[in-house]
Amino acid sequence: MSFPVECKYTKNHEYLKPLGDGTAVIGITHYAQEALGDVVFVQLPEVGASFETGEEFGTVESVKTVSECYLPTAGEVVAINEELEAHPEYVNEDAYGKGWMFKIKLTGDINAELLDAAAYQAFVESESH
Amino acid sequence: MSDLKKTPLNAVHRALGAKMVDFGGWDMPVQYPTGIINEHHVVRTKVGLFDVSHMGEIRVKGPQAMAFLNWLTPNNVVTLKVNQIHYTGLLMENGAFVDDLLLHKISDEEFLLVVNASNVDKDFAWIQQHAAKWDVVVTNESDATGQVALQGPKSLEVLQPLMDINLADIKYYWFAFGNFKGMPVMIARTGYTGEDGFEVYCPADKTEWVWNELMESGKAHELAPTGLGCRNTLRLEAKMALYGHEIDDQITALEADLGWIVKLQKGEFLGSATLQGQKDNGVKRLLVGFRMAEKRDIARDGFPVVLNGEKVGHVTSAAPSPTCGYNLGLALVPVELSAIGTKISIEIRGKACEAEVVPTPFYKRAK
């Protein structure tokens, strides 16, 4: 499994994709969706809500389990993926594309402790054993 | 991981790309790449194939087999007919469960008990211990027996070409002996999904061959291998109990809403005194079905049922329901809250969420 190089990752399997204009897209990784199984509901934050780095912003529910999600870097929610209400399976089908969860306006610099694609890949591989 | 027990189909599941999990000490497929929701729909609309070889088979034989089992279990073994099957339990004096099981009557002197994988050794010891005073022989055939379950509307079409007996003659909850491409097998028209289906019992070392033949025969009917994940959502919609959840060593048959297997009028049986008392005085708690009010609220196994901030019961099993399209579950609640239509609160991660007691089963197949 390889991960998009333009993203940064957390050890809780969230990703952050900086768009270069002070905003970033947030979602959960392909590894996370595979571990969760069929996603049935995504609890998204409200537009306008602000979170600190590492703060819980919502949950992802699958048939078998629920997972809390934490914001990779501080920011304010500027848009959410409305499609996920009717199509939670987009998270399984295309975690980095149509399975995107919401967009934030960054508060300050991106959290320096996030993993790059190679480091996240190594982390995931070590988790699998 | 190397401590987990494996069925004869373990390599087959892995080759199919199954996600494997520890189920009661067994290395089992929770889903194949198709995913739980797709597998669930396949069983309801076409046909799925489950590996259930981990389940246990215990044979009770002897001149007193019928009388022994009629005393040991709550359902009526005397009125059960040859080649017929009924759902029942191994109960304790307190009316609660050692296990639930399917009892197959081969003759008045020979019965096959099919028990849960997680309880095989416990059940065998329990039966043996109680059989000591009776003229019966109890044998554990679990390791020598493989079992696969075809479940779904197309089950008969898939199995019939491989069998030398007419499957339409086997009614639901009856079994027969026949030949599967020349090999003797037992075919039971039972299942844990609420759909029509057949459970095929064969020698353990023939299980992989049986599975492959069914997969081949199933191609024309869009058969898919199906795992334990959808097995759970299917049985939950059909309101079938899972040991350790709806029934255990503290929940009685009447509290678990299984009064229909408790035949108090047949005479004394192990647990009958407690159950008669519960019937006369009424149960204090009861298993009910519930439906969550909000789509965002998904109850999970073990979550508390709360009333005025206090825990008064708990969820025994719950999940989003693929067929029904809402979040549902079963819960043990005080009998005062058990009437259909009662609004109850289930605490989900610290928040009291509204649910309603609804009739069960949540799903019933068209006849």
Does this model's pTM top 0.90? My answer is: yes
Q: Are A90 and A65 in contact (CB under 8 A)?
A: no
| Cβ-based neighbour number of residue B21 at 10 Å | 16
Q: Which CATH number characterizes residue A43's domain?
A: 2.40.50.100
| Count of domains observed in chain A | 1
3-state secondary structure of B175: strand
Q: Is A38 on the interface with B (CB under 8 A)?
A: yes
Q: Classify B1-275 by CATH class.
A: alpha beta
Please judge whether A37 and B31 are an interchain contact, meaning their C-beta atoms are less than 8 angstroms apart.
yes
Could you identify the residue written with the tokens 């020979």?
Answer: B110
Residue A69 in any domain: the answer is yes
Determine if residue A100 is left, alpha or beta; phi over 0 gives left, psi from -120 to 50 gives alpha, anything else beta: beta
Residue A2 in any domain: the answer is no
Q: Using an 8 Å CB-CB cutoff, list chain B residues near A37.
A: 19, 30-31, 35-36, 229
What would you report as the CA-atom Rg of chain B, rounded to the nearest whole angstrom?
A: 21
Helix axes B65-72, B120-131, angle to 10 degrees: 120
Q: Is B319 on the interface with A (CB under 8 A)?
A: yes
Where does A4-73 show beta strands of DSSP type E?
A: 8-9, 14-18, 23-28, 39-43, 50-51, 56-62, 66-70
* CA-based nearest residue to B208, from B35, B6, B48: B6
Q: Where are chain B's structural domains?
A: 1-275, 284-358
Q: How far apart are CA B20 and CA A67, in angstroms?
A: 20
pLDDT tens over chain B, length 367 residues: 568 999 999 999 999 999 999 998 999 999 999 999 999 999 999 999 999 999 999 999 999 999 999 999 999 999 999 999 999 999 999 999 999 999 999 999 999 999 999 999 999 999 999 999 999 999 999 999 999 999 999 999 999 999 999 999 999 999 999 999 999 999 999 999 999 999 999 999 999 999 999 999 999 999 999 999 999 999 999 999 999 999 999 999 999 999 999 999 999 999 999 999 999 999 999 999 999 999 999 999 999 999 999 999 999 999 999 999 999 999 999 999 999 999 999 999 999 999 999 999 999 998 7
Residue A129 in any domain: the answer is no
CATH topology of domain B284-358: Elongation Factor Tu (Ef-tu); domain 3 (2.40.30)
Residue A32 in any domain: the answer is yes
Structural domain boundaries, residue A47: 8-122
Please judge whether A41 and B298 are an interchain contact, meaning their C-beta atoms are less than 8 angstroms apart.
yes
Residue A128 in any domain: the answer is no
Q: Are B24 and B223 in contact (CB under 8 A)?
A: no
| Cβ-based neighbour number of residue B179 at 10 Å | 12
Residue A127 in any domain: the answer is no
Distance from the Cα of B264 to chain A's closest Cα (Å) equals 38
* Backbone φ, ψ for residue B290 (5° rounding): -135, 160
